[in-house]
Structure 1
Amino acid sequence: RISRAFRALVFAAFPVLYTLCHLRFRFESRATTMGSCCCCCCSKPIPSPKSTGVTSLTDEGAAYIQLPTDTKFVESCANNDAFQKDVIFIPLQRGDVGELYIYSANVGERTANLLYGPVKLLTPRKHMSDPDGAQELTPFGTALTSDGRLWICVFNHSLVVEMDLKTGEILNEVHVPAPNDVCIDPLDETVAYAAGGSQTTFCCCFTVTNATRGKIFKITKKSNGTASAGTLIRGLSTLAGIEKMDDELFSSVLYKMFKTKTESCLRSRVPVWRGPDDNDEVWLADNIQKFDKDTLVIPAYRTLGDTATCLFLGCRPISAIGNCAAQCLTCIAEGENCREAFRDPEVALEFSILDTDAPLRLFLLNKDGTAKHFSVDLVNARQIESTTEREFYFDSNVTNIAHVKDKLVCINFQQPRIMLLPDTPYLEDGPVSRL
């Protein structure tokens, strides 16, 4: 009874503490660790111009790479032709525990091969390791250097991990709260950037991780091989993706995007998703990848109504409390202890899934500010019998798209397969918006 009463008390106080954390993060966000920055992604969304049109396509010509049938979660893949041409590297969770494995696949051969696993952290959190030593690791965004160093966002441990793909050795574990995506600086591969959240501690006992209070971190690798992270930009909302082109850093904040000159931290927001659908729904962006040297490709893993976007994503206190409630419900469902519920940023996938026959939506953003929107009807995928609990063989919950060889490599976070779309339709001329 005492345990139940204590848990009820903690969960009742959780939204209050979360709001206090939010206020504390807000005061902290008035300054940045590196450089100066006077503006933040404001609490009220800036109305973005609608696209002048959406190019409608189908999944004709799609092919698939099959992943292990016990795949629990897969969110991204990484490619660097300077390391291995036309090969993608996929970190994924397998089994009931959710151990991390690294797979590789040649896009032309369409076969996934086990490379390493299960991967073991050097400093695992105790409650995420079972008596047999299995560790629950949730991989989010990834990035790969030309010499084969794979950076992986391990979301539930608030770590960005560097792995040597030549040996399978973990080189570094860098603390970044709630890391969602990571990218390599093309001008200096000893530098990486991560899109994450915030973390604070109350009374020396409760550590609260707030994914809705976004920060961008600069990870620097030193000459002795160790790496450390410092805060580059504070005061953002929930971050989803990050990528660097030349001297500009692009980051998606779910319902909009901004770019920054990374040396000066002077930012100009570039609105991205804003209801090109007929029903005026907002496209929620996810991971960012390079389409070519001048263009980024970003999937919209789902859509959200305009009012809901303004309420839940635009109003930071409401966003923080909503995320808190999701963490609480996840904690109850998984039987975590209360202290870990504060610290663990992970929430149940049911809060993100949009299980409908909606089209796959993606967006090409050129660095000159022009953009193309695409809506891909997965008509052929719907005709294939599903082999999982999901309704369709492949659906629109795509979190990462990579352009490899002549294919768009689409990662769906709850499907044990990868879809390959021919890139030809996306290279052709179509409606262009200036954002």
Structure 2
Amino acid sequence: MSDTHSNTVAYVRKTMLTEQAPPSSQVGAVRWVRENLFSGPLNTILTLLGVLCVYYLGVHLGPWFANSIWNAGSLSECREILQGASGACWGVIKDRWHQLLFGFYPQDAYWRPTIAFFLMIVAMAPILFDAVPRKVLWFSAVFPFLAFWLLWGGTIWLPLLALAGFVIGYFAFTALQKVSALAAVIGAMVAPVLWWLFFAGPLDEVLSNALPIGIKHIQSDEFGGFMISIIIGVTGIALSLPIGILLALGRQSDMPLVKWICVGFIEFIRGVPLITLLFTASLLLNYFLPPGTNFDIVLRVIIMVTLFAAAYMAEVVRGGFAALPRGQYEAADALGLDYWKAQRLILLPQALKISIPGIVNTFIGLFKDTTLVVFIGILDPIGLSNAIRADSNWNGIVWELYGFIALCFFIFCFGMSRYSQYLEGKLKTDHR
């Protein structure tokens, strides 16, 4: 036994082996390439085809970008400089960038939409990010009226009276809340409308004549370019979400009249193309207004685009409600919460969290659909590109204009997409 024990002890390692480097095929770029690009026959074939496509694009687009011409006043001048070589004529962007961004807005007033754009970023910051102080939300509430005044101009009284309508709606909601929640909501909606229809206009005329404080008024037919796309897109996005939430709640309501109205509105809007609604806003809406009423075309388009997006938003939010477990509704009832508190504290936050991808998808689609306004005579970037190409100096140029427009739209849409992913990660509560 002792001999066997002594022989066994001789094979027991008394010291640890030093740490060895892993094989080169199991770490770093080599491992990533092997696992992601050449993990099997199909992936290998697809990788080689992808490399061929990249090579083909590089061979043909590389010289086109490398020979870019920026200092040229016409397409013929670009061709003279290139002398038959392939190259991009970006001189059209340098020559007409202000028109693509601002349309026919007066050049001496470019500071107004520029300031409005940067103020929009400030107003959006507390809504999008928690790190921004909550006090900035007061500016976010005032910004739409300030932006309207900066862009359209005129006296300061019209936006102030429009803002007063919301203040009146808040007081009506507070006063009627003691009666019932439904009466408070109806009062908060009816009171501002009555104020705007019957009192705001006459008061604006009186105050404008007495104290004409303001800046130069600019007509809507001078708007255009990316400025009009941002105005319509951002306004539609900001208004369609709350309206869509109300429509989703109304579609699930136990009150038949409310439910039928919401269902009828949603199904009608979703069954009609947006271009039809835009033609309605452009040509037919004035027939339903009092004689002599001059309703701004841009505001008409904003209303139609908002209603169109709100109908789709309602279905996205309704899908979020449908995905909630029944136990969440029962938990709200068990806590003794009324309808509005249950929606605000328990149900709606969870439904919106589930609906984030669909909501952002609707927002991106809405922003891209702003290009349809060209069919009713509003010169968005696409409409302006056609006008620029009609100029004899730039007749025949295509890729540079559409490439620049596509890049600008991509920046906005990609930014919205990345923010939605950031928000999903921030609100993620599971630990998988």
Specify the TM-score bucket, using the shorter chain as the normaliser.
under 0.3
Q: TM-score, normalised by structure 1?
A: 0.26
Q: TM-score, normalised by structure 2?
A: 0.26
- Larger Cα-atom Rg: 2
The one of the two structures with greater contact order (alpha-carbon pairs below 8 A, sep at least 6) is 1
Structure in which a larger fraction of residues adopt strand:
1
